[in-house]
Structure 1
Amino acid sequence: MDNRNQLRKITREKRLALSNNEQTMAAVQLSERLTTHPKVVSAQHIAIYLANDGELNTLAFIEWCWANNKQVYLPVIHPFSQGHLLFLNYTPETEMCKNRFGISEPKLNVNLIQHIENIDIIFTPLVAFDETGARLGMGGGFYDRTLQSWFEQYKTDKQSRPYPIGLAHNCQLVSSIPTEYWDIPIPELITPTQNYQF
């Protein structure tokens, strides 16, 4: 666990050290990459997150989704089921609030919740990744829990939904991530300059 926390610290510092210009360029390159991705082009329901803590800015891509009549969903911390996420429809009119981590999320409204199995693609944030598809998150396990049932199905059915794609800056690639039994590997990861498939 100490190794994982040290890796988180080092990689977050690298990400936070990126200049505004580097962040802007990375966001443009990411959007170009995502909007031509075959799975994205054919998807109707896309879950993504709003950038925080130096993460890749996803707003340009979200706006493209809206312009192309794709439904966008953002994660909301589940109010009763600890460590779990809900996904709520997100539009330019969505009322937002800050969660306990200080991250903007849609104000909870049961009418806006989309069941995870109805989502085509789920873009996951992460702190670090390696070339085997191992992903290191912030440590709360939210996305590992979210993707647990998908992963069980994916072992026998590669078409199971939602298809997870990690998003990261190039500097978040590390040589190796010490994994734990609960970690869910991702089949694909996209940086501003590269697509990794695992």
Structure 2
Amino acid sequence: MAQEPTQIQLRNTLRQTFRERRRRLTNEEQAHFAQALVKQCEDSGVFASAKRVAIYKTNDGELDTQPLINHMWENGISVYLPVLHPFSDGHLLFIEYTQDSAMMVNGFGIQEPRLNCQHVCPLAALDVLFTPLVAFDGAGNRLGMGGGFYDRTLASLHDCIDRASPKVVGLAHDIQKTLSLPTEAWDIPLKWIMTPTKLYHF
């Protein structure tokens, strides 16, 4: 008799399914959704009065964040990108990102600013933190790439999840939503997830 897939196997299968789904989007669709995301942010007021916002560079078919980054720059918002923590394995730091930032490619093939301690923003000093995800469900559960970087980084906020700052918002295509996701004890559900068409509040 065939064995039931393990939790790990099921999560990996879901990752493959949803990563492939978003990679199939055309360049035209990606461009349209990226602009729709900017409008969604404006209409929802998700970063109204925000001064410091962390976001990420797009990879692997994710929503294109560059138009949103440009919008924040144009409105005087300081933008921060995640970098791999040099001393705390599996954790992230957030470095200010400007049009003049020196960039490098990390071990995952993702662009990040060169580490400069003078440009680090403590997690608690951020007003909004946009996080990537592979899939999400109707309860705010987030399936990431499997590295656990954001879960570990956000663990310090989990006990005080109702704090005003930072507001943690997952970003995803609408096609990345599913009815239910298998979860693990270390998974941290999100209170906010934004797609090009909707802001979910859980």
- Name the TM tier (shorter chain): over 0.9
- Partner Cα separation in structure 2 for residue 65 and residue 41 of structure 1: 11
Identify which of 173, 179, 184 aligns with 2:183: 179
- Partner Cα separation in structure 2 for residue 149 and residue 80 of structure 1: 17
Question: Does 1:129 find its partner at 2:133?
Answer: no
Structure label with greater radius of gyration = 2
Question: Does 1:72 find its partner at 2:76?
Answer: no
Whether contact under 8 Å (1:150, 1:160) holds in the other structure is: no
Match of 1:159 in 2: 163
Using the TM superposition, give the Cα deviation of residue 42 of structure 1 relative to its aligned residue in structure 2, in angstroms.
Answer: 1.4
**Aligned partner of residue 54 in structure 1, secondary structure:** coil
Match of 1:29 in 2: 36
Using the TM superposition, give the Cα deviation of residue 80 of structure 1 relative to its aligned residue in structure 2, in angstroms.
Answer: 1.6
Using the TM superposition, give the Cα deviation of residue 3 of structure 1 relative to its aligned residue in structure 2, in angstroms.
Answer: 0.4
**Aligned partner of residue 69 in structure 2, secondary structure:** helix
Match of 1:191 in 2: 195
- Partner Cα separation in structure 1 for residue 93 and residue 199 of structure 2: 27
Letter in 1 for 2:90: G
Using the TM superposition, give the Cα deviation of residue 162 of structure 1 relative to its aligned residue in structure 2, in angstroms.
Answer: 1.4
Using the TM superposition, give the Cα deviation of residue 137 of structure 1 relative to its aligned residue in structure 2, in angstroms.
Answer: 0.3
What is the aligned length?
A: 195
**1:24-79, CA deviations, whole angstroms, 9 ceiling, x for partnerless residues?**
11001001111233231211110000100000001111111111111100000011
Alignment of 1:1-198 (within 5 A): 1-154=8-161, 158-198=162-202
Letter in 2 for 1:95: A
- Partner Cα separation in structure 2 for residue 178 and residue 41 of structure 1: 33
**Aligned partner of residue 48 in structure 2, secondary structure:** helix
Whether contact under 8 Å (1:47, 1:119) holds in the other structure is: yes
Whether contact under 8 Å (1:72, 1:90) holds in the other structure is: yes
- Partner Cα separation in structure 1 for residue 100 and residue 163 of structure 2: 33
Q: Percent sequence identity over matched residues?
A: 49
Whether contact under 8 Å (1:66, 1:72) holds in the other structure is: yes
- Partner Cα separation in structure 2 for residue 2 and residue 120 of structure 1: 36
Whether contact under 8 Å (2:44, 2:199) holds in the other structure is: no
The alignment yields a C-alpha RMSD, in angstroms, of 0.9
Using the TM superposition, give the Cα deviation of residue 195 of structure 1 relative to its aligned residue in structure 2, in angstroms.
Answer: 1.4
Question: 5+ unaligned residues in a row in structure 2: which ranges?
Answer: 1-7
- Partner Cα separation in structure 1 for residue 97 and residue 17 of structure 2: 32
Question: 5+ unaligned residues in a row in structure 1: which ranges?
Answer: none
Give me the TM-score of the superposition, normalised by structure 2.
0.94
